[in-house]
Structure 1
Amino acid sequence: MTVEAHDPRPKKVQIADALREEVAALPAGYRLASLRELAERFKVTTVTVGNALKVLADEGVIVSVPTRGYFVQSPKGTGEAGQDASGPVNRDEINAIHSEIQQLAARVAELEKRAQSPSSA
């Protein structure tokens, strides 16, 4: 999708409107695409996409988690217990991170094994 040049609405509003419809169908805690991916999709700059996401965050539709991304906010979750400054807890994301940590630990162990191999040969 691209932003329509003949549309009188600002680009950020066009993008926010398009994303608002999509986000409504997503579960709470779902991570949105990155700024770069969205910029490529809408054929605009990352600044414009960031401005559109700020509109949605200001409306409480999504939440920004620094260094993690943008996540769908629970319709009832804005400001309620269970929500902290780090954003919504997503069990699937926690499990994915745990799996990544295990894979990295295995890779580190393999690299340590390889590093010791040449010295003992």
Structure 2
Amino acid sequence: MTISSDAPISKKMQIANAIRAEIADGQPLAGYKLQSLRELANRFGVTAVTVSGALQILIDEGLVVSVPNRGYFVSDADAPDWDAEESETSAQGSPDYAALIRHLEVLDSTVRSLAERVARLESLIEAQD
């Protein structure tokens, strides 16, 4: 996909819109690592700086997360906020089992959701064969 210089919106917004649409369509799935800045720049025919600006828009929207020295990943809105104020240990230093159970329940739900998506994709692939 080539980004238009003549479009009424900036190149970085065009890229953000394209990636946002892909995420909304379920491609890529939550947790998926996006292409590198260089690969996205080549794909869209722009500089890495422009791609970085587009990804920052998606980070600000909560659709993408940046992991230092790892890359950019599609965020999962249902994932637990591990940095939340809720501590996983009590004041006495023992584990907060209720918080851990809530996190496990969210993770279980996420895994089940992903398994359902995989099953749907496998059935679509079988239907095409």
TM-score band, normalised by shorter chain: 0.5 to 0.7
**Counterparts of 1:34 and 1:11, CA distance in 2:** 18
- 1:76 is displaced (CA, Å) by 2.7
Aligned positions, number? 83
Q: 1:64 aligns to what SS in structure 2?
A: strand
Q: 1:37 aligns to what SS in structure 2?
A: helix
The one-letter amino acid of 2:20's match is: R
1:51 aligns with 2:38: no
1:73 aligns with 2:66: no
Higher-Rg member (1/2): 1
Q: 1:71 aligns to what SS in structure 2?
A: strand
**Counterparts of 2:8 and 2:35, CA distance in 1:** 26
5 Å matches for 1:21-100? 21-24=21-24, 25=26, 26-77=28-79, 80-81=80-81, 83=82
Structure 2: which 5+ residue stretches go unaligned? Answer: 84-106, 108-129
**Counterparts of 1:57 and 1:67, CA distance in 2:** 16
Over the residues paired in the alignment, what is the CA RMSD in angstroms? 1.9
C-alpha offsets along residues 33-84 of structure 1, whole Å, 9 cap, x if unaligned?
A: 000000000010000000000000000001000110000101233xx34x45
TM superposition outliers: structure 1 runs of 4+ over 4 Å: none
Query: Which residue of structure 2 aligns with residue 9 of structure 1?
Result: 9
The one-letter amino acid of 2:43's match is: R
C-alpha offsets along residues 78-104 of structure 1, whole Å, 9 cap, x if unaligned?
A: xx34x45xxxx9xxxxxxxxxxxxxxx
1:19 aligns with 2:12: no
Higher relative contact order (CA 8 A, sep 6+): 1
**Counterparts of 1:10 and 1:73, CA distance in 2:** 24
Structure 1: which 5+ residue stretches go unaligned? Answer: 90-121
